[in-house]
Structure 1
Amino acid sequence: MNKTVNGIARPLRGELTVPGDKSISHRAVMLGALSEGTTHVKGFLNGADCLSTIGCFRNLGIDIELSEDETEVTIHGKGLQGLNACNGTLDCGNSGTTTRLISGILSAQNFDSELTGDESIQKRPMKRIMKPLGEMGADITSVRGNDCAPLHIHGKPLHGITYESPVASAQVKSAILLAGLYADGTTTVIEPALSRDHSERMLTALGANVSTRKLPDGRAEISIEHCDKLVAPKEVLEIPGDISSAAYFISAALLVPGSDVIIRNVGINPTRDGIIEAYLSMGADITFENKRLSGSEDVADIHVRYTEGLHGAEIGGSLIPRLIDELPVIAAVAAGASGKTYIRDAAELKVKESNRIAVMVDGLGKVGIKASETEDGMIIEGQGSALSLNSAEIDTHKDHRIAMTFAVLALAGSGSTEVTLRDADCINISYPTFYEDLGKL
């Protein structure tokens, strides 16, 4: 499906609640399945990726109930040893989170499994989890010998290791920690910087022994002990709104003059709120209201006002793991800032659903924004408040974050600006109601 988005001449105003956090939704299903007892979840993200996780665990013998609107989930856990072999291949769809995290769990089972996914997943690198899991004793092979899915996993007993990860990746870390639940002894991951910590928070809440400390050189050390059991939470697990989804409305309000938007009930976990820090460094008017704790996660309402005079910034280093998924839309906002914005240390963008560096630079160029690729990021030459956009057709490469980014940027054009998005329905991966919600503002 293609979709055309026009520039608008009026500000965005109003309040909005975005769907539940994608990362937490995945983990709620996985850890609920491995817990003893029943886990009740509200605010589940009913995007295709999270539904792929549900499908995989149903095929592993877990009874999972979904409400009619698929935002409430009941998981009847069977404990750490309760999974059954799947009679067939587990389909992870487009979800890298499903593929990588479930590999850590399946590595320790007493049966064999095979994982696959769509065309995109079959091109995404899996060596980054195969290597550390292999060091723990796992037997994982790439069926085609290219270090990508399909993967064949021969379940085996595992042992704890200390693994120094070359990248700060929550998916790599979580795969190792989930395997560490089953492994003998202590399993430790050392990251260049602390990546999102939803796994650690939820594992701790369910009874696992997890510790995190910052090393003198700035790296993060996360350890988990062998675990005999996880216990389902007594209270309903309420998943906050996904800051990665809120990012598009925050960004739209910064791009469209006169806008004033509040996004309610957003998770502001400090390992995820890098976009706010980046925008504040560019001069944005953003405030947190009604800050509170929901379960083990920090939550707030985010109030954003259009800010004339945004300026370019340098975004890199330890900030990158805290905003890796938001970098495309940050690049779009940089187009409306004065001066250059430098995005560095973000080579990870090349191995997402698309090469997001190349795709963003190409798309920005098509709408009239000067941008260039670097080895590990991009440079965007902003036009400031005099932002002027060309009409163009953008190939989303079926990447949900590219589609939503250019839908938001298109709004900053004049009334005659038309930006057509190819394969615009790829947003169903993470945010099926995105276009409707954008329309509400």
Structure 2
Amino acid sequence: MRVEPMHRIVGHMAVPGDKSISHRAVLLGALCDGETRVTGFGRSADTEATIEAVRALGITVYEYDDETLHVFGKGLRGLGAPAKPIDCRNAGTLVRLLAGMLAGQEGQRFTLTGDASLSARPMGRVTEPLRLMGAAVESEDGHLPLVIEGRPLHAVTYELPVASAQVKSAILLAGLSADGETTVVEPVPTRDHTELMLAAAGATIVRRQTSVSVRPAARLALGEIEIPGDFSSAAPFIVAATLVPGSELHIHGVNLNPRRTGLLGILARMGANVTVYNRRQIAGEPAGDLEVRSADLVATAVTGAEVPSAIDELPLFVLAASCAHGDSVLRGAGELRAKESDRIEATADALRALGQHVRAVDDGFRIRGVPARPHGGRIASRGDHRIAMLGAIAALASRRGVEIEDAECVAVSFPGFFELLDSLRREAAE
């Protein structure tokens, strides 16, 4: 697919519901007693895999339209093992959270599989704490498939060796069935959607500065969940409007959970012009509208402490830094090498192909900023939705446009990405 440059980006837009919260709404809805009504659902290949997974476990999910679901839960111990393996496709959030949910389903045996990309991603970081809790989990040398036999679980205090909201969530979900208080200690704070939703469902959650605990639950009930717009889906357009001169873009109803919006802080110290207005709560999550105007950027250093709150947006930061004044550095982001692709190498290769000065290091990047439009060219997405979107945003800011190989992979998280981009192009032309 070829994406052409834009002379300016103007208008108003909204993005799909938050993917992380959408996963959790369906998964926790399956564990609730009775009906959970979900509005603003972020439909994508990943979240559709979550719907199919809970259906395989015996849960009825009624889809009124793309954004409205009713999940009819069967309680904390009501999931049934299907005759066939549960295919998690490419959804890392799904497979890790599901492992925690299933570990305490006593007397049941489950097999979790995925596509080639997911099967290459490490699962040891989630199987280790579950085994410490007494779970029977087998893997293929630390990779999929996972075979889980539900057993009685024991409460643990587990210190995460690497900050991971997915692993934290798996342990907390397993802790719902454990015999005491289960605690996860984090090296730095990560996304807290799971603990927020568990608390809303009636679970006993204790949150501290560096840890979170859950006690076993008798029942959960959510009732209704409205899902705010996905910040990770808004982020490409934030960076595009920042880089393309003459831009003024409004993005409405975006999730502004501070554990998700690290990119905003990074861009702010680079000189970006992003204003938050109409702040409000949506389903217990902070949300608001964003006004983004184009700005000249200056270099910055991003540390490991900032990585968890900006993990999905770091390739976009590298693009922004490559167009800034001065030299930037990003360290402590080794986790990027274990995503759908090796995102450190994929990002560096893609941006160098467009004429940018980006060098990969073991756990991040060194970037020489040149305050000019990228030349343009051709990039390989490597089947990674974040890299495909990175190429499209670089194209908008480029001189000659960008050809993106396997651009269709954006459907993993944002099926309507290119349609939304085209609508902004039409609005700018009016």
TM-score, length basis structure 1: 0.95
Structure 1 unaligned blocks of 5 or more: 215-219
Q: What SS does the corresponding residue of 2:89 show, helix, strand or coil? A: coil
C-alpha separation between the residues in 1 aligned to 2:390 and 2:64?
30
1:19-73: CA deviations, max 9, x gaps?
A: 00000000000111101121101110110000101101000000001123x2111
**How far is the alpha carbon of 1:333 from its aligned partner?**
1.2
**How far is the alpha carbon of 1:90 from its aligned partner?**
0.1
C-alpha separation between the residues in 1 aligned to 2:193 and 2:374?
40
Q: Is the 8 A contact 2:327 2:366 kept in 1?
A: yes
Q: Is the 8 A contact 2:235 2:313 kept in 1?
A: yes
Q: Is the 8 A contact 2:324 2:370 kept in 1?
A: yes
**How far is the alpha carbon of 1:363 from its aligned partner?**
0.9
Q: Which one of 165, 168, 172 corresponds to residue 160 of structure 2?
A: 165
Alignment match, 1:194? 189
Alignment match, 2:70? 74
**How far is the alpha carbon of 1:257 from its aligned partner?**
0.4
Q: Is the 8 A contact 1:255 1:409 kept in 2?
A: no
Q: Amino acid of the residue matched to residue 407 of structure 2?
A: A
Matches for 1:219-258 after TM superposition, within 5 Å = 220-233=210-223, 236-258=224-246
Q: Is the 8 A contact 2:376 2:395 kept in 1?
A: no
Alignment match, 2:367? 380
Alignment match, 2:398? 413
C-alpha separation between the residues in 2 aligned to 1:424 and 1:388?
19
Q: Which one of 135, 146, 150 corresponds to residue 145 of structure 2?
A: 150
**How far is the alpha carbon of 1:330 from its aligned partner?**
1.2
Alignment match, 1:93? 89
Q: Is the 8 A contact 1:333 1:409 kept in 2?
A: no
C-alpha separation between the residues in 1 aligned to 2:369 and 2:391?
16
Q: Amino acid of the residue matched to residue 383 of structure 1?
A: V
C-alpha separation between the residues in 2 aligned to 1:285 and 1:248?
15
Q: What SS does the corresponding residue of 1:397 show, helix, strand or coil? A: coil
Q: Is the 8 A contact 2:36 2:221 kept in 1?
A: no
Q: Which one of 268, 290, 300 corresponds to residue 278 of structure 2?
A: 290
**How far is the alpha carbon of 1:202 from its aligned partner?**
0.3
C-alpha separation between the residues in 1 aligned to 2:412 and 2:304?
28
Residue 57 (structure 1) aligned with residue 42 (structure 2): no
**How far is the alpha carbon of 1:418 from its aligned partner?**
3.1
Residue 389 (structure 1) aligned with residue 379 (structure 2): no
Q: Is the 8 A contact 2:96 2:167 kept in 1?
A: yes
Q: Is the 8 A contact 1:39 1:74 kept in 2?
A: yes
Percent of aligned positions with the same letter in both sequences?
45
The alignment covers a number of residue pairs equal to 423
Residue 13 (structure 1) aligned with residue 17 (structure 2): no
Residue 340 (structure 1) aligned with residue 327 (structure 2): yes
**How far is the alpha carbon of 1:372 from its aligned partner?**
0.7
1:260-282: CA deviations, max 9, x gaps?
A: 00100000001111010010010
**How far is the alpha carbon of 1:331 from its aligned partner?**
0.9
C-alpha separation between the residues in 2 aligned to 1:334 and 1:317?
17
Alignment match, 1:259? 247
Q: Which one of 29, 32, 36 corresponds to residue 32 of structure 1?
A: 29
**How far is the alpha carbon of 1:388 from its aligned partner?**
3.6
Q: Amino acid of the residue matched to residue 272 of structure 1?
A: R
Q: Is the 8 A contact 1:254 1:306 kept in 2?
A: yes
C-alpha separation between the residues in 2 aligned to 1:320 and 1:413?
27
